[in-house]
Structure 1
Amino acid sequence: MTRRRRIILATGTAVALGLAAWGLAQIEGSDRGVPPIDSAANYEVGGIQVDVVGKTAEQARMVGWRLAQRRGWQQLWAKANNLPANQAPNLSDGQLDQVVAGVSVEDEQIGAHRYIARLGVLFDRGRAGDLLGAHGGGPRSAPTLVIPVMWSGGVAQSFEHRTDWQKAWARFRSGGSPIDYIRPVGTGLDPLLLNVAQAGRPGRGWWRMILDQYGASDVVVPTVHLERRFPGGPVIAHFIAYHGPDSKEVARFDLVARDSNDLARMLDEGVRRIDQAYADTFREGGLIADPTLVAEPAAVKDLGEEAATEETGDAGATAAPATGGPVQTFTIQVETPDAATESAIEQAVRGLPGVKSATTPSLALGGVSLMRVEFAGDVAALRAAAFGAGLQLRDDNGTLRLRRQ
C-alpha cells in the first residue's frame, strides 16, 4: 500500500486545484510571513477518518470521499445547530455534490482495493447556509486580532520568524467559526508590532494603536509550548488559549505528536480545539472586548456618568447636547449578526431626533455593516440622541461604531 500527502479540491466535476498550497509555497524562500487561507466563502470540517474497500483503487477512493461528505455534513449541521449529529437531515450524494466546494486530503494510504485517509470537506457557505437552519449563520464576534505565540527550546516567538504554529493558524479555515479572526501575514511591520513582548504587554496605549492599525477591536493570544524529550521522539505540546491584553485564560490542554513528521497534524488539531474553546465562550456570552481597547479610559468614564444621569434623572446634571446645526453625513460601523438586528437598528436610527436619513449601503450579515446617516448636528449630539434610544455610539480614533447598549 503506497502512502502520500497531497491537497485535492473537488467540485461537482472533481476539478483538482492547488492554489492554497501554491500560495504558501511562494514564501518558502523567506524566514517571515505566511499568508492565511481565505476561508470567507467556505465552511470546513476536517479530520474525517475513512477506511473503505472497492473493486479498484480509484473506486475505493471515490467511496471514501462520498463517505467523508456524508460524515462532514452531519458534523457541520450538528455544530451549527448545537444538536447531535444523528439528527442531521439526510442528503443524497447528488445534493451533497451541490453544496460541497472541495475535499482536502490531509493524509491517505492507497492500496489495490483499499483506501485509508484523513480528509477535510469544504462546504460552500452560500449553498450550505440555506440547509443549516436558522442557526447556520449565527452571530459573529467583533474583529479579533490573532497573535500566535510558540515556545520551543526555551525561546518564544510570534511573528519574529515564521513558525510551525503560525503556519497552522494560516492553514485554518475560519469561515465556520463565530470568531471574526484577523490573521496577519507576518511581513512588513508585523514582526515589530506583533512580537512576544507586545503579546504580554498590559498597557492599553500601544494596544489601541495596534488594534486600530489592523482594524480590530479585540485580541487573542493562542500559545503552545513544545517539549521534545529526545531527538526523533514524540513531541509534547501544551496549549493555552488567552484572551485580551491581560491574558485571561480561556482553555488549556495537551496533545502529543508521534515525531516531528506528525507535528503539523497535532498543531492543526490544537488550532481547531482552541477555536472551539473561543467559540464556546463567545456563545455563552463571554469573550467580550475590553472597552479600554477601543476608547480612552476618560471617555469610558464619561459614558458611565452619562448613563447614571439618564437612569437617575438628576436635575443638576449637564443636559445632553441639543440637535441642530448644519446637516452632516456620518459613516458608521454597525454590528449586524442577522437581518432582524440590522433592520431594527436602522429603524431606530431613522427615528432619532435630527436624523434626516439612514441607509445601509454595505450590508454584512454576521459581521460589520456600514450605515450612512445624515444628521443635523455634530457627533456629540448624535451620540446623545442614540443613547436616549438605547444605542451606544463610540468614536474610535475617527471610526464611528454603533451597537445596542
Structure 2
Amino acid sequence: MISALPLRFARPIDPAAPSRDWRWLVFFGLLLAILAAGIVEGQIARGDRGITPINSSGDFLTGGIKVDVTGDNAEDARQKGWREAQRKGWAQLYRKTNGSDGPQLSDSVLDGIVTAIVVESEQIGPRRYVATLGVQFDRVRAGQILGVSGRTLRSPPLLVIPVYSIDGIPQVFEQRSEWQRAWAEYNTGQSAVDYVRTAGTGADTFLLNVGQTGRRGRVWWRVILDQYGAADVLMPTARIEYSYPGGPITGHFAARFGPDNRLIETFTMTGPSVKALPDMMEKAVARMDRIYTEALAAGILQTDRYLVLEKPVEKEDLPAEAVSSDDSALPGEIDASVPTTVPVGAASFNVQYASPDVESVSATERNVAAIAGVQSASTTSLALGGTSVMRVTFRGDIAALKAALEARGYTVQQGGNTLRISR
C-alpha cells in the first residue's frame, strides 16, 4: 500500500531564483567590463611616453653653431647673433655640400634663403647673447647657389618602428627611450628615405609594438600601413648592454626591413658610461640612415607587392594635359603660398611671439589669421624654443591691429612697426 506522505526534506522551488541569477551575471559582467576599460585606458592615456618628431621638411639644416656677441641691448645682441649664425651656417653648409669654401653672401641674400633659426640653447644678457643655434635653408633657393639639383632619389614612405631593448626587455613606445628620442629628433628632410615617424602616443602603443614586428601576415600589415600612410616598414633595433653599474656601455644595432623582419646590416658602438648614451643613439641613427640609403640605392628597399593594393598609374594612362612636356623643369623659386604683393588698402606688420614648439606656431598663426581684417598671417622667421616673427597683412593701421590682438586675450607691446604678443 502506497501512502501519500509529504516530502519533508524536499526544497521548495522559488520561481524568482533564475531571474536573480541572471541579474547577478549581468552585474559581474558590467564590473568586468569597467575594469577592462580602465586597464585599456590606463595603457593608452597614461605613462611616460610620446615624443613628437621634429624637422621633417626637405630644407637644408646646419646645427651646432656657437655665437657670442654683444649689442646695444638684449634684442640687438640677439639679432646680431642670428646674423652671425646665418653666415657661419652658410659656410658650413657649402663646405659640407661641395667640400670647399663657398662665396660669401650678404645678409640680405641670406635673409632670402634662410627659413628658420633653430635655438638649441641660448643665454640672453642685458647686452650679450651666447647661444648654440641651427640654421635652416630653403632647398630650392639655396640649392641653386649650392649647385644641387632639385630632383633626388626618394623612397616610398616607410613606417619606422624603433625597437629598443635594455636588460633583455624589448619595447617600442611603451616608455620614452633614448632610441625613440634620437629618431624623433633626427633631420630626415635631407635623407633619400621617406621616413614616417609617429609620436608613440594613443593607439601607437597598441598597433606598433614588439609583437607586431614578429607578425608575417600581410593583411594586418596592410591595415596598419594604410593607417599611417606608409608603403612598407623599417625596424631599426637597438640593444644596450651595461658592463657594470656606472661603467662602459655597448650598443648592438641592426637595420631591419619589411614584414619579414629582413636583416640588412648590423654594427656595434661603445661608450664610456651611461652619460654617453644620447650621443651614441644620435650617431647610431645617422649610421642607420646611411645603411638604409645605401640599401635603397642598391635596390634592397623594394616594397612588398602584397602590401600594395592599387596598381601604379602608368604615364600612358594619364590624360595629355596631366603629362608635363618638360621633365627637367625645376620648381619655381617663389613660394606661391606666400603673397608677394599687399592688397590695396592693407598694410604689413611684424608680430613677434614666443614659439616653444611647432604646435604653438600653428596655434598662434591660426589665432591671428582668424582676426577680422587680417588678410594673411605667416611666420617669416621661425625660432623654435625662442621668439619667432610673423608677417601680418591687415586692413587698417597698427593701432587697430593692436586692439584686435588685445581683444583676443594677448598682451601686446608696440615698438615702431612691430608688435610683440604674449599670454
Q: Which runs of 5+ in 1 are unaligned?
A: 1-27, 79-83, 300-331, 335-344, 352-356, 367-405
Q: Residue in 1 aligned with 2:300?
A: 286
Q: Residue in 1 aligned with 2:208?
A: 194
Determine whether 1:65 maps to 2:82. Answer: no
Determine whether 1:146 maps to 2:160. Answer: yes
Determine whether 1:250 maps to 2:256. Answer: no
Q: Residue in 2 aligned with 1:175?
A: 189
Q: Residue in 2 aligned with 1:36?
A: 53
Q: Residue in 1 aligned with 2:318?
A: 349
Distance, in Å, in 2 between the alignment partners of 1:117 and 1:263 is 24
Distance, in Å, in 2 between the alignment partners of 1:190 and 1:252 is 26
Contact 1:68 1:119 in 2 (8 A): no
Distance, in Å, in 2 between the alignment partners of 1:147 and 1:219 is 7
Distance, in Å, in 1 between the alignment partners of 2:272 and 2:142 is 36
Against the structure 1 CA distance between its residues 294 and 55, is the aligned structure 2 distance closer, same or farther, given a 3 Å change threshold?
closer
1:160-208 per-position Cα deviation (integer Å, ceiling 9, x unaligned): 2222211111111211112111111212221111101111322322212
Distance, in Å, in 1 between the alignment partners of 2:65 and 2:267 is 22
Contact 2:240 2:252 in 1 (8 A): yes
Question: Once the 2 structures are TM-superposed, how far is the Cα of residue 61 of structure 1 from its aligned partner?
Answer: 6.9
Question: Once the 2 structures are TM-superposed, how far is the Cα of residue 155 of structure 1 from its aligned partner?
Answer: 0.8
Question: Once the 2 structures are TM-superposed, how far is the Cα of residue 34 of structure 1 from its aligned partner?
Answer: 1.5
Q: Which runs of 5+ in 2 are unaligned?
A: 1-44, 72-76, 325-329, 332-423
Contact 1:68 1:121 in 2 (8 A): no
Largest Rg, 1 or 2? 2
Letter in 1 for 2:213: A
Distance, in Å, in 2 between the alignment partners of 1:180 and 1:254 is 25
Against the structure 1 CA distance between its residues 63 and 99, is the aligned structure 2 distance closer, same or farther, given a 3 Å change threshold?
closer
> Which moved further from structure 2: 271-280 or 141-150?
271-280
Residues 251-400 of structure 1: matches in 2 within 5 Å?
251-295=265-309, 349-350=318-319
Question: Once the 2 structures are TM-superposed, how far is the Cα of residue 68 of structure 1 from its aligned partner?
Answer: 4.1
Contact 1:144 1:219 in 2 (8 A): yes
> Which moved further from structure 2: 165-174 or 131-140?
131-140
Question: Once the 2 structures are TM-superposed, how far is the Cα of residue 42 of structure 1 from its aligned partner?
Answer: 3.0
Distance, in Å, in 2 between the alignment partners of 1:225 and 1:75 is 35
Residues 156-175 of structure 1: matches in 2 within 5 Å?
156-175=170-189
Q: 1:216 aligns with which of 203, 207, 230?
A: 230
Q: Residue in 2 aligned with 1:237?
A: 251
Distance, in Å, in 1 between the alignment partners of 2:118 and 2:300 is 33
Letter in 2 for 1:144: L
SS of 1:86 mapped into structure 2: coil
TM-score by length of 2: 0.54
Letter in 1 for 2:252: H
Letter in 2 for 1:37: I
Question: Once the 2 structures are TM-superposed, how far is the Cα of residue 93 of structure 1 from its aligned partner?
Answer: 5.7
Letter in 1 for 2:57: A
TM-score by length of 1: 0.56
Contact 2:48 2:176 in 1 (8 A): yes
Against the structure 1 CA distance between its residues 42 and 250, is the aligned structure 2 distance closer, same or farther, given a 3 Å change threshold?
same
Percent sequence identity over aligned pairs: 40
Aligned length: 276
Residues 14-93 of structure 1: matches in 2 within 5 Å?
30-40=47-57, 42-46=59-63, 48=64, 65=85, 68-74=88-94, 78=97, 84-86=98-100, 91=105
Distance, in Å, in 2 between the alignment partners of 1:199 and 1:241 is 13
Against the structure 1 CA distance between its residues 90 and 246, is the aligned structure 2 distance closer, same or farther, given a 3 Å change threshold?
farther
Question: Once the 2 structures are TM-superposed, how far is the Cα of residue 122 of structure 1 from its aligned partner?
Answer: 2.2
Contact 2:69 2:130 in 1 (8 A): no
SS of 1:130 mapped into structure 2: helix
Question: Once the 2 structures are TM-superposed, how far is the Cα of residue 242 of structure 1 from its aligned partner?
Answer: 1.2
RMSD: 4.0
